[in-house]
Chain A
Amino acid sequence: MLGTGLLHGLKVTAKNLVGSFHDPARYVTTEYPEVKAPQPENARSFPFLVSESAADPMGTMRCVACQICEKECPPQCIYIEKSKDKKPGPDGRMQLYPAVFDIDISVCMSCQICVEVCPFDAIRMDQIFEIATTERFSALLFDREKLAKPNAYYHQLHPTEAAEVDARRQAAEAKTRAKAAKPASVQPPTAPGAKAQNPPGNAP
């Protein structure tokens, strides 16, 4: 009979309308600004730089300014300038650090390629998304002060991944220290030892 299909359709709509008051399967919206949907552990938005300590984020930054991410970034939104001097890294060896590390967040397309190519676990994905601003240029160009976040924050965002990274790094550091300790016991300290006299954490 003509119109039966319409009535069937109306039945479905009515079921959904009534269901939206009591059935969680049919009431699926989140009242966003008041209630935020939880983000999964893997969720990613924009990159940040991992620092070992929250007290001295600039001095304990893992980044060694190797510029691999700058080269690999598909939309070319990373700009790095290497430092002129070196500072001691977490494993005691002297390393460069980024004097300038800028990410243009308005260009970044959240693809995570920088994270994957980083050999030092120094850049990781953040989950921030409420960064809308009326300042079009400087507010969306994140410099290294704004990008540096402590390792504890990384653990908070991606606990499983961060634990794996920490375990791997600690193993690698122990290896390097053991290697460094052996020749030192045989030879008297020479030129490389002189560099290590730089007090830690004096990065500009």
Chain B
Amino acid sequence: MTAPPELFASDPSSRVRPVHDEFHGDLLEVSMGPHHPSTHGVFRMNVTLDGETVVKLKPVLGYLHRNHEKIGEKASYLGSLPFTDRLDYFCSMTNSWAYALAVEKLTGQAVPERAEYLRVILAELTRLINHTCLAGFLLQDGGASGTPLMYAFREREKILDLFESLSGSRMMCNYQRFGGCRVDPSPAWLEGAQRVTDGYGAFLDEFESLLTGNEILMARTQGIGRLAPALAVSAGVTGPMLRASGVDYDLRKVDGYGIYPRFAFRIPLGDHGDTYDRYMIRILEMRESIGILRQALRDIPGGPCLDPGAKLRGLRPKAGEAYARIEGPKGEIGFYLISDGSPSPYRYRVRPPSFINLTLLEDLCLGHTVADAVVILGSIDIVLGEVDR
């Protein structure tokens, strides 16, 4: 759990120069965003600078607030499902899986075997999409203008084509249901998924030879934005960001939800918790995802993909509460539902990974330059649709 102390001995705030003396003058307050290409959407940070060093950083949220949770309390259980796609719009499949899981827990609905496999396949494809794009965006923030991002989007497009031919929509899939999945994939679709899986390793090799050994990338990311494991745990950080700090916590192993215990895969861990580790952890996770995909596509059984007795419309679960969480690509995404027996939940709460990971932004950025703050923000992997909800 705790990393060797010498790795985290240097306190970043010690690098802050003394201010208000005769040489350095006053602090400068800069408002970055909400419309700034580096802030991944409409995110604003009020940065206080001493020279070029960040001494204070205050995130300003809420520009994309859409009342998601209140809508969830007004809409029916089925009607909330398409809205969950719009939380983290890169990972609609995992968002709706987490929500479907919460409702299934509430009603005690069983899921057929084939749907469990499909969910794993789609979740791992989503992880590939998310991590590939994250790597592209992170490098864009680091100054690699365009090239890695376009390569990432080229590969992402192949998976989005799969999603479109299966669910009808590229990003807003609306595919998971309480008790399974909406459309049964054809054998041709599974072959297509197999093709994408087989080709992805070669793409990752190419992507890594473009970037991983790149001296500029290393200089921009190594030792930048170090996150101590103890701080990460106490702040509730989850996902690749936590594992990059060396904490072995992955819900796929810890909870073993769905059918994940059946697959053999490893959890990559970082040593330093810096931005470079956060980048590398995603590349390594993608390689593990490819392994899971191979196993799932090999073992997927036949049968129905939606429980024929599943009730979708006019669902009225018994009074009670349920919290279901899964390991989304960005971290633990959970849904908490309280039912009072009416057709819509009494309370509908989302536990968004991006938002909780973002709370550490100031701690990571203190003592670094403005340009580093942009790279650190990129490595946290936020999507504003989920942060603001």
> Could you tell me which A residues sit within 8 Å of B by CB distance?
2-6, 8-9, 11-13, 16, 28, 39-44, 68, 72-74, 109-113, 116-117, 125
With A72-B79, A112-B168, A112-B174 in contact, is A5–B151 under 8 Å at CB?
no
Taking Cβ atoms with an 8 Å cutoff, the residues of B that contact A are: 75-76, 78-83, 86, 147, 151, 154, 157, 161, 164-169, 172, 174, 182-183, 206, 209-218, 312-313
* Residues in B whose Cβ lies below 8 Å from that of A43: 164-165, 168-169
A8 close to B215 (CB less than 8 A): no
Contact in complex: A28, B164 (CB < 8 Å): no
How many residue pairs link A and B with beta carbons under 8 A? The number is 81
Residue ID in chain B nearest A42 by CB atoms: B168
Give the Cβ gap from A6 to chain B, nearest Cβ, in Å. Answer: 6
User: Contact partner of A74 among B80, B165, B182, B211, CB < 8 A?
Assistant: B80
Chain B residue at minimal CB-CB distance from A13? B147
Quote the shortest CB–CB distance from A52 to chain B (angstroms).
24
Cα(A113)–Cα(B164), bound, Å: 17
Residues of chain B within 8 A of A28, CB atoms compared: 154, 157
Task: Give the distance in Å from the alpha carbon of A6 to the alpha carbon of B86 in the complex.
Answer: 38
A41 and B209 form a contact (CB under 8 A): no
Determine if B79 and A42 form an interchain contact, defined as CB atoms under 8 angstroms apart. no
Whether B211 contacts A9 by the Cβ 8 Å rule is yes
Contact between B78 and A72, CB atoms less than 8 A apart: yes
How far is B214's CA from A6's CA once the two chains are assembled, in angstroms?
Answer: 5
Contact of A16 among B151, B157, B168, B312 (CB under 8 A): B151
**Contact indicator A5/B165 (Cβ below 8 Å):** no
Tell me, rounded to whole Å, the shortest Cβ–Cβ distance linking A5 to chain B: 3
Q: Can you name 29 A-B residue pairings with CB atoms under 8 Å?
A: A5-B212, A5-B218, A6-B215, A8-B209, A8-B210, A9-B209, A9-B213, A9-B214, A12-B206, A12-B209, A12-B210, A40-B164, A41-B165, A42-B165, A42-B166, A43-B168, A72-B76, A72-B78, A74-B79, A74-B83, A109-B86, A110-B169, A110-B172, A111-B81, A111-B82, A112-B174, A116-B312, A116-B313, A117-B313
Bound together, the chains give a CA A35 to CA B212 distance in angstroms of 37
Residues in chain A near residue B313, CB distance under 8 A: 68, 72, 116-117
Closest residue to B183 on the A side, CB-wise? Answer: A42
Q: Quick check: A74 and B164 within 8 Å, CB to CB?
A: no
How far is B174's CA from A16's CA once the two chains are assembled, in angstroms? 35
Distance, CA A68 to CA B313, complexed state (A): 10
Residues of B contacting A117 in the complex (Cβ-Cβ under 8 angstroms): 78, 313
Contact A111 B172 (CB under 8 A): yes
* Chain A residue at smallest Cβ distance from B167: A42
Contacts of B183 in A (CB 8 A): 42
Contact between B210 and A6, CB atoms less than 8 A apart = no
Residues of A contacting B169 in the complex (Cβ-Cβ under 8 angstroms): 43-44, 110
Judge whether A113 and B213 touch: CB under 8 Å: no
Could you say which residues of chain B place their CB within 8 Å of the CB of A112?
168, 174
Given A43-B169, A74-B75, A109-B86, 15 new contacts (CB under 8 A): A3-B215, A5-B215, A8-B209, A8-B210, A8-B213, A9-B211, A40-B161, A40-B168, A42-B167, A72-B76, A74-B82, A109-B82, A109-B172, A111-B172, A116-B182
Instruction: Find chain B residues with CB under 8 A from A12 CB.
Output: 206, 209-210
Docked pose: A39 CA to B212 CA in angstroms: 36
Partner of B214, one of A5, A40, A74: A5
Q: Is B75 a contact partner of A125 (Cβ separation < 8 A)? A: no
Residues of B within 8 A of A13 (CB): 147, 210
**Would A5 and B147 count as touching, CB distance under 8 A?**
no
Complex CA distance for A112 and B80, rounded to whole angstroms? 13
A11 vs chain B, min Cβ distance (A): 8
Q: A2 vs B217: C-alpha distance in the bound complex, in angstroms?
A: 13
Docked pose: A72 CA to B81 CA in angstroms:
12
Bound Cα distance from A5 to B210, whole angstroms: 8
A28 to B80, CA, bound (A): 35
- Say how far A86's CB is from chain B's closest CB, in angstroms: 25
Q: How far is the CB of B148 from chain A (nearest CB, A)?
A: 9
User: Which residues of B have CB within 8 Å of A74?
Assistant: 75, 79-80, 82-83
Taking CB atoms, residues of chain B closer than 8 Å to A125 are 168
Taken together as a complex, chains A and B put the C-alpha atoms of A68 and B213 apart, in Å, by 58
Q: Give the 3 A-B residue pairs with the shortest CB-CB distance, closest first.
A: A5-B213, A111-B82, A40-B165
In the assembled complex, which residues on chain A have CB atoms less than 8 Å from the CB atom of B214? Answer: 5-6, 8-9
Which A residue sits closest to B203, measured CB to CB?
A25
Shortest beta-carbon distance from A91 to chain B in Å? 23
When distances are taken between beta carbons in the complex, the residues of chain A under 8 Å from B80 are 74
- B249 CB to closest chain A CB (Å) equals 32
Contacts of A72 in B (CB 8 A): 76, 78-79, 313
Compute how far the CA of A2 lies from the CA of B216 in the bound complex, rounded to whole angstroms: 10
Chain A residues lying within 8 Å of B76, measured Cβ to Cβ, are 72
Instruction: Return the chain B residue nearest A39 by Cβ.
Output: B164
Which of B80, B183, B209 neighbours the largest number of chain A CB atoms within 10 Å of its CB?
Answer: B209
Closest residue of chain B to A117, judged by CB?
B313
Closest chain B CB from A40 CB (angstroms): 4
Whole-angstrom CA separation of A115 from B81 in the bound complex: 15
A159 to B99, CA, bound (A): 32
B202's closest neighbor in chain A, by CB?
A25
Residues of B within 8 A of A42 (CB): 164-168, 183
- In whole Å, how far is A25's beta carbon from the nearest beta carbon of chain B? 8
